[in-house]
Amino acid sequence: MKGMIPAVLALADGTVFRGYGFGAPSLRPSVGEVVFNTSMYGYQEILTDPSYAGQIMCFTYPHIGNVGCNDDDVESGRVFVDGVVVREVSAITSNFRARRSLGEYLRNAGVTGIGGIDTRAVTTHLRSHGAQMGALFAGDRIGVDDLVSMARAAGSMEGKDYVKAVTCAKPYAWNELPWDLARGIQEVPFESLVTRPHVVAVDCGIKRHILRLLVDVGFRVTVVPASTSADGIRALRPDGVFLSNGPGDPATLDYVVEPARALLGTVPFFGICLGHQILGQAVGGKTFKLKFGHRGGNHPVKDLATGKVEITVQNHGFAVDQGSLPNNVVVSHLNLNDGTVEGLAVPELRAFSVQYHPEASPGPHDSRYLFERFYQAVVGDQVHV
Amino acid sequence: MPKRSDISSILLIGSGPIVIGQACEFDYSGTQAIKALKEEGFRVILINSNPATIMTDPEFADVTYIEPITADYVESIIAKERPDAVLPTMGGQTALNIALELDERGVFARYGCALIGATVDAIKTAEDRELFRQAMEEIGLASARSGVARSVRDAEAIAEKIGYPLILRPSRTLGGTGGGIVEHPQELIQKVSQALSASPNREVLIEQSLIGWKEIELEVMRDLKDNVVIVCAIENFDPMGVHTGDSITVAPIQTLTDKEYQLLRNAAIAIIRRIGVETGGSNVQFALNPNTGDIIVIEMNPRVSRSSALASKATGFPIAKIAAKLAVGYTLDEITNDITKETPACFEPSIDYVVVKIPRFNFEKFPLAETTLGTQMKSVGEVLSFGRTFSEALQKAICSMELGSAGFDREQWARDLGRDEVLEECRLPRAERLWYLGEALRAGNSVAALNKTTGIDPWFLSTIQSIIEEEEGLRERPLSSIEGDEARSLKQRGFSDARLATLLRCREAEVRERRRALGVLPSFKSVDTCAAEFEAFTPYLYANYDDHNDAPPTERRKIMILGSGPNRIGQGIEFDYCCVHAVQALRADGYEAIMVNCNPETVSTDYDISDRLYFEPLTLESVLAIVERERPHGVIIQFGGQTPLKLAADLAAAGVPIIGTSVEAIDIAEDRERFSALVKKLGLRQPEGALARSVDEAVAAARTIGFPLMIRPSFVLGGRAMRVVTTEAELRSYMQESVSVSHDRPVLLDRYLTNAIEVDVDAIRDGTTSLVAGVMEHVERAGVHSGDSSCCMPPHTLSDAVVAELKRQACLLAESLGVRGLLNVQFAVQGGKEIYLIEANPRASRTVPFVSKASGIPWAKVAARVMAGKSFGELGISSLAGSGPKNPPYYSIKACVFPFAKFRGFDPLLGPEMRSTGEVMGIDTSFAGGYARAELAGGVQLPLSGGAFVSVNDGDKEEVVPVARRLAELGFSLYATAGTAAFLTSHGVSVSTIQKVREGSPHVIDLLGSGKISLVINTPEGHGTFLDSRSIRLVANELRIPIFTTVAAVAAAAESIALLRVPHERTVVSLQEYHSRLG
């Protein structure tokens, strides 16, 4: 196409997709696990979700960039995906909250995208052949064969710890509230938070909307690095511990699992996504890699206690192996599409977790009640004491 | 939750005739619902007065009543059948209104019958504007500032409070009939009065105008466990102010972020919960301020709707089917997604394409009617198209419209106007606005200026701008300069071969050849509900120019059926009915049936009707691409009306294996000169006629043939521009003003057969033997378009000898044309014995479903099998050869419904140009009984007493005397203006004389307004209608006084009135019972 830089997405199995580059120029190839997300809305939140570190994101919805990017719809301080694959990059942005185009946003973030790709072809390929590594490059300095080799050399997501790369350097407190149409994102003065029950959120790549909902439901929140020891967490005198979402293979995270195991039972625990997999391991379970993962905003999950179904937001390539869980662990939620574990609870330890994303952002808000459940668990604990 | 065990039989209420605002989407949903309920083992009872529906096929429901959908009839059916439950959410507003009425009468309580799908409270809260507003307030959602007016005085007070502009929405009307926008205080009184009279309960909501806001719709489903899913979110291309049925719409939403979308989603869920729809689907409409994101709830429909049909087709999620299952107790997680087979229906579809719906209008049939679009729906059909990009979907949708447009190709419009004028053309929403937008951009207007003028989102406009820019870059380039990448990119953006040919100044076939040489061919992708996350098992496909192909063709023996495209007056549900029957018959015979169509309202585009569904425009380009991919053994073009016929010659030339009657035979029938030669050879008689290629030729021909003359352009659909002319002056004015005549486009002149009875004969031939499926005697005299005439099967006045001769002639024509399949022949019978052949159509005609219902034989299925090679013998019907089945021991009457109420200012006259949108059927043991049922089903409540106003033209005076006498005998007081009164009096009929309008008050209009008149007989006085005549019809129409514009129709009505006046018990007899009485 006229005036566009040809770009290539090469998969480890040798499959090659050709399109044009957008966003930041490729200084070097972007290499990562190529995954697809079926959400039709919310690309900016997806791009800034730290759980996508190490991944190249293929959007199944063909028009991406229509509403541009703004300052509020971010889940972290930066873009975390390593590359973006889309069918059609919008030529213009049209939304009253837009501040810049997607292209400009990615350019500022130093992330390269490839447009003009038959993303359905990529998706069906990943669906039938499984998730795999890929290399994306815009320009002609690097040959296709070299890109395939690079993708192959990257191995697999299995065994990779991306948490170290995305967790915060030091603890910090949080005071933002969830986004609101009229007011945008507001802050609660820190001084008014001091009397609230205190949650320590272990940051494995935490999304801001989780923190915002924790504040919104009534907590004081302190975020700590993933490597914080049990003593380190204890020292903060938490009333509850939250285990966050994050990227990579959960089996590589003993340094997060061990402190969690040590603290379980002392205060209520709530985990989301990677945090759920960490909790699962802390109570004795194991995780495994799914063929191509769940990424989107439309997966039905059944709450086995109520029989009700929630339309959930999902973003995970690994799952907790139901068979590996000890008897005291209750499987509380199941995915209705493939029957995988979506939630677990250990009542005696006052711990529960979900594989999916109740904070949504992007996606349906059906599961936000879980934050209230966590709050009740924590508050109930205090009443008991 | 498993299905309810406390109910075993369910009455489903259909939506009745096709009208604007309530069309064949309700056949689609009702058919799905019946299938779903039968699958669950329920005994299903159906009432629907519309014989052209698939749902009324006798094998669908256990018991089928083709009866008027009124509370009386439904109550009689309930009393007879004693269903355990009534499902009112599949039959549009008609069914909901009936459910409320039955509830008010205490019918449900009396018969211990449960209302399922929606509760009375839910229906009332959703339907009653004020209750709805309060409900929204309770859950913290804003609705437009508004007030309910029951009088003009109320309205003035409310308008004072809200300010102008404001919107009128009469309550409980279909498609917003009688609604509108009031810009200035001066217009208030008149528009409010109209709105009040359109509302059955005399109630109008007056609300703040949200013109320029975005309009967005969400399709929501909820089950008994309170699981809620959003099936589809639809963004209107046209901003608020245009009825959503008249808006171009796009799915999914293109211009909202997730945060904004989730606010709508949360609101929609809160609304379905608050309104209390516990089981089923609802449609929620929002207005969204594009500058602030503020949301206002517009309305909620607690039932399946046109939008839910659209959403089902757009996503592959069968809303009606699932709503039916929810209504009987299942929950969403217990129902499997048919397309993926492994995942449950409890999810929200994700789509990886863009769909665009464009409404289709028929304003050309209603000259003088207001053509600006507003809150009252005026479109008669729609197309849906799929593309990987908005640009592709939009341009495919344009090609699907069958308006002779292959893209943004109305350059002439802009050329005639200046830059500013073409921009100004875009200001008011009209049917052609989409093309004007393109031309406004071509003329140099900016996206920003256009956005300011129209309120249409810049995102949509900029797509059109890129299309226009691309076009201008292509203009005058040689085809050979287009290489592979550019060709692919153009096709990916939806440029049709035909449009590219115009721009590149070559022929469409050359563009196709070039593409083929370059290897730029379409691929086909699945509509799979899940954006390819799971494997799809249902081949529901659309074409695009990306690489990946889903659902490769099979090796089976396959037949492809070309559908009928968007509904329009003259080509509607009847043709889809035939296509569906063809698919069913061929599947039953072991063929793989492949359906091609682009109309989202239809049953034929339901994914489980055919083996493979291609949702594609019915253009040469698209059809050839599918044929090339599938390599079918046969292609059927006989069932889709004019749409596939227009392609016949080109398809045949391209070597496509068309089965059934040859293209050559079709051409003979369509070509007047060739047909006349055939008729002459067969010794049959046609009305004297001529072809004229200029005004002089026409005048000369008229002098030979004599007046009155029937005149029409050649090759027209539904009698477009057809007219009866009585004088040379009229002829000249028609030739000069109404048609463009040229050597290639002559006009046809025929002697107009005064007072002749018109007859439709449907015949069928298996290649060697012919038989007559049905003979229908029209009620209105020849000259009224056959699609607008009531008719009776079997004939009730024609002699056996004449009927036998009509059958002989029809069979003779079938044989000599070499028909294989269906043939419709129209005759006129003058003086009870002179037979004239009017025309022959060697294809399925709109009478086929009616004939099938009346005769108990599914003729379209027979025709499909015959086309695939079966003989009558093999089908076990050789005994019917020749004259066809014996006359049934009952009369079936078809009546038509007209959209005059929607086209204010249009004279509600019948004529040679078809204007009806739908049909109903009444069956009874007498003609009069059947006619009464048909009239009632069509919305005409025949009066049993009162005053009859008679005013007829001179030609009709003789004929009206016995009718007037009959009405007087029945106790009607007769009124007439001087001329008619004198004539009647001189023939011994007593009548009161009333003054014409120009003679001063009290005049006829005053009389109509006085409430004394319950029936109007008014026949037109030549084409240049006199003021009185026209205004009488307009006023009667406005006041909803039954009006008859032909003497024949009122004669039939008088017989029905006589019958109805005799006290009698209302009987209801099912179609299955009637069919069991056939010999």
Tell if the CB–CB gap between B255 and A361 is shorter than 8 Å: no
Q: Which two tokens stand for residue B203?
A: 């109630």
> CA B136, B142, B146 angle in degrees (round to 5)?
90
Tell if the CB–CB gap between A311 and B347 is shorter than 8 Å: yes
Whole-number mean pLDDT of chain A? 96
- Spatial neighbors of B216 by CB under 8 A, at least 6 apart, are B233, B234, B235, B236, B253, B256, B264, B285, B286, B287, B288
Tell if the CB–CB gap between A311 and B256 is shorter than 8 Å: no
Average pLDDT over residues B157-176: 81
Task: Please tell me the predicted confidence (pLDDT) of residue B1075.
Answer: 97
Task: Please tell me the predicted confidence (pLDDT) of residue B693.
Answer: 87
Closest CA to A230 of A219, A222, A238, A220: A238
Residue B1023: is its pLDDT beyond 60? no
Helix, strand, or coil (residue B644): helix
Express each pLDDT in B713-749 by its tens digit: 876 666 677 788 888 988 888 887 766 666 677 888 8
pLDDT band, very low/low/confident/very high, at B211 (cuts 50, 70, 90):
confident
What are the distances in angstroms from CA B268 to CA A184, A245, B8, B141? 22, 29, 32, 10
Tell if the CB–CB gap between A365 and B530 is shorter than 8 Å: no
Residue of B220, B352, B465 to mutate when probing chain A, most A C-beta within 10 A: B352
CA distance B375 to B165: 13
Task: Please tell me the predicted confidence (pLDDT) of residue B654.
Answer: 95
Residue with tokens 């009859």: B948
CA distance B1022 to B1025: 6
Amino acid in position B867: M
Chain B residue with Cα closest to A127: B533
Closest CA to B87 of B11, B7, B6, B5: B11
Residue B359: is its pLDDT beyond 80? yes
pLDDT band, very low/low/confident/very high, at A382 (cuts 50, 70, 90):
very low
Helix B859-867 with B573-588: angle, nearest 10 deg: 60
Closest CA to B668 of B484, B502, B530, B823: B823
Q: Which residues of B touch A362 (CB under 8 A)?
A: 258-259, 262
User: Is A315 in contact with A345 (CB distance < 8 Å)?
Assistant: no
Express each pLDDT in B257-301 by its tens digit: 999 999 999 999 999 999 999 999 999 999 999 999 999 999 999
Residue B220: is its pLDDT beyond 80? yes
Sign, CA dihedral B491-B493-B498-B502, equals negative
Residue with tokens 């699932």: B322
C-alpha distance from B6 to closest chain A C-alpha (Å): 23
CA distance A96 to A104: 17
pLDDT band, very low/low/confident/very high, at A4 (cuts 50, 70, 90):
confident
CA distance B777 to B827: 10
Whole-number mean pLDDT of chain B? 93
Express each pLDDT in B824-850 by its tens digit: 999 999 998 999 999 999 999 999 999
Task: Please tell me the predicted confidence (pLDDT) of residue B1025.
Answer: 43
Average pLDDT over residues B190-200: 86
CA distance B103 to B123: 11
Q: Which two tokens stand for residue B1011?
A: 């409430």
Express each pLDDT in B445-497 by its tens digit: 999 999 999 999 999 999 999 999 999 999 989 999 999 999 999 999 999 99
DSSP annotation string for B221-289: EE-TT--EEEEEEEEESS-TTS-GGGS-EEES-SS--HHHHHHHHHHHHHHHHHHT--SEEEEEEEEE-
Q: Which two tokens stand for residue B772?
A: 């007559």
- Spatial neighbors of B732 by CB under 8 A, at least 6 apart, are B695, B699
C-alpha distance from A111 to closest chain B C-alpha (Å): 21
Task: Please tell me the predicted confidence (pLDDT) of residue A169.
Answer: 97
Tell if the CB–CB gap between A311 and B258 is shorter than 8 Å: no
User: Is B1053 in contact with B1059 (CB distance < 8 Å)?
Assistant: no
> β-strand B523-526 against B540-544: which pairing, if any?
antiparallel
Residue of A49, A118, A302 to mutate when probing chain B, most B C-beta within 10 A: A118
Count CB atoms within 10 A of the CB of residue A347: 11
CA distance B429 to B733: 31
Lowest average pLDDT, out of B144-153, B200-209, B851-860, B1011-1020, goes to: B200-209
Chain A residue with Cα closest to B354: A62
Q: Is the bond preceding residue A362 a cis peptide, omega within 30 degrees?
A: yes
Q: Which residues of A touch B489 (CB under 8 A)?
A: 1
Residue B995: is its pLDDT beyond 70? yes
Express each pLDDT in A231-274 by its tens digit: 999 999 999 999 999 999 999 999 999 999 999 999 999 999 99
Phi, psi at A354, each rounded to 5° = -130, 145
Express each pLDDT in B131-144 by its tens digit: 998 999 999 999 88
Paired strand residues for B230: B220
Average pLDDT over residues B694-698: 89
- Closest by Cβ to B466, choosing from A38, A91, A299: A91
* Number of residues that this document lists for chain B: 1079
The rounded percent of chain A whose pLDDT value lies above 90 is: 97
> β-strand B891-897 against B834-841: which pairing, if any?
unpaired
pLDDT band, very low/low/confident/very high, at A32 (cuts 50, 70, 90):
very high
**How far out from the chain centre does Cα A106 lie?**
19
Tell if the CB–CB gap between B546 and A121 is shorter than 8 Å: yes
> β-strand B709-713 against B634-636: which pairing, if any?
unpaired
Closest CA to B515 of B467, B543, B479, B549: B479
Lowest average pLDDT, out of A297-306, B209-218, B864-873, goes to: B209-218
Lowest average pLDDT, out of A5-9, B604-608, B1064-1068, goes to: B1064-1068
- Spatial neighbors of B620 by CB under 8 A, at least 6 apart, are B508, B647, B650, B651
SS (H, E, C) chain A: CCCCCEEEEEECCCCEEEEEEEECCCCCCEEEEEEEECCCCCHHHHHCCHHHCCEEEEECCCEECCCCECCCCCCCCCCCCCEEECCEECCCCCCCCCCECHHHHHHHHCCEEEECCCHHHHHHHHHHHCCEEEEEEECCCCCHHHHHHHHHHCCCCCCCCCHHHHCCCCCEEECECCCECCCECCECCHHHHCCCCEEEEEECCCCHHHHHHHHHHCCEEEEEECCCCHHHHHHCCCCEEEECCCCCCHHHCHHHHHHHHHHECCECEEEECHHHHHHHHHCCCCEEEEEEEEEEEEEEEEECCCCCEEEEEEEEEEEECHHHCCCCCEEEEEECCCCCEEEEEEHHHCEEEECCCCCCCCCCCCCCHHHHHHHHHHHHHHHHC
Residue B266, class by beta-carbon neighbours within 10 Å (0-12 exposed, 13-18 middle, 19+ buried)? middle
CA distance B620 to B652: 11
**Residue of B785 and B171 predicted with greater confidence:** B785
Task: Please tell me the predicted confidence (pLDDT) of residue B412.
Answer: 87
Q: Which residues of B touch A88 (CB under 8 A)?
A: 388-389
Residue B973, class by beta-carbon neighbours within 10 Å (0-12 exposed, 13-18 middle, 19+ buried)? middle
Average pLDDT over residues A99-127: 97
User: Is B503 in contact with B474 (CB distance < 8 Å)?
Assistant: yes
CA distance A95 to B408: 26
**Residue of B205 and B530 predicted with greater confidence:** B530
User: Is B414 in contact with B443 (CB distance < 8 Å)?
Assistant: yes
Residue B793: is its pLDDT beyond 60? yes
Task: Please tell me the predicted confidence (pLDDT) of residue A119.
Answer: 98
Task: Please tell me the predicted confidence (pLDDT) of residue B1001.
Answer: 82
Task: Please tell me the predicted confidence (pLDDT) of residue B175.
Answer: 60
Task: Please tell me the predicted confidence (pLDDT) of residue B41.
Answer: 96
Average pLDDT over residues A44-67: 98
Residue B73: is its pLDDT beyond 50? yes
**Count of A–B CB contacts within 8 Å?**
170
Residue B893, class by beta-carbon neighbours within 10 Å (0-12 exposed, 13-18 middle, 19+ buried)? buried
Residue A384: is its pLDDT beyond 60? no
User: Is B522 in contact with B494 (CB distance < 8 Å)?
Assistant: no
Segments in B568-639 forming alpha helices (H): 573-588, 620-630
Sign, CA dihedral B425-B431-B437-B438, equals negative
Average pLDDT over residues A301-313: 96
Express each pLDDT in B425-435 by its tens digit: 999 999 999 99
Q: Which residues of B touch A181 (CB under 8 A)?
A: 259-260, 263, 292-294
Average pLDDT over residues B231-242: 96
Q: Which residues of A are catalytic?
A: 273, 357, 359
- Closest by Cβ to B547, choosing from A67, A121, A362: A121
CA distance B1078 to B853: 12
Paired strand residues for A8: A18, A137
Task: Please tell me the predicted confidence (pLDDT) of residue B741.
Answer: 67
Average pLDDT over residues B806-823: 97
- Closest by Cβ to B352, choosing from A90, A120, A308: A120
Residue B985: is its pLDDT beyond 70? yes
Average pLDDT over residues B235-251: 96
Residue B900: is its pLDDT beyond 60? yes
Helix, strand, or coil (residue B606): coil
Q: Which two tokens stand for residue B522?
A: 């379409």
Chain A residue with Cα closest to B463: A91
CA distance B38 to B808: 42
Residue of B258, B266, B547 to mutate when probing chain A, most A C-beta within 10 A: B258
Count CB atoms within 10 A of the CB of residue B481: 9
User: Is B499 in contact with B467 (CB distance < 8 Å)?
Assistant: no
Count CB atoms within 10 A of the CB of residue B742: 9
Tell if the CB–CB gap between A39 and B459 is shorter than 8 Å: no
Closest CA to B202 of B232, B164, B172: B172
- Closest by Cβ to A40, choosing from B226, B260, B350: B350
Express each pLDDT in B78-117 by its tens digit: 999 999 999 999 999 999 999 999 999 999 999 999 999 9
Lowest average pLDDT, out of A25-29, A206-210, B413-417, goes to: B413-417
Q: Which residues of A touch B332 (CB under 8 A)?
A: 309
Average pLDDT over residues A294-301: 97
Task: Please tell me the predicted confidence (pLDDT) of residue A84.
Answer: 98
**How far out from the chain centre does Cα B221 lie?**
26
What are the distances in angstroms from CA B439 to CA B307, B341, B372, B472, B726? 30, 47, 19, 12, 42
Residue B500: is its pLDDT beyond 50? yes
Express each pLDDT in B848-880 by its tens digit: 999 999 999 999 999 999 999 999 999 999 999
User: Is A302 in contact with A366 (CB distance < 8 Å)?
Assistant: no
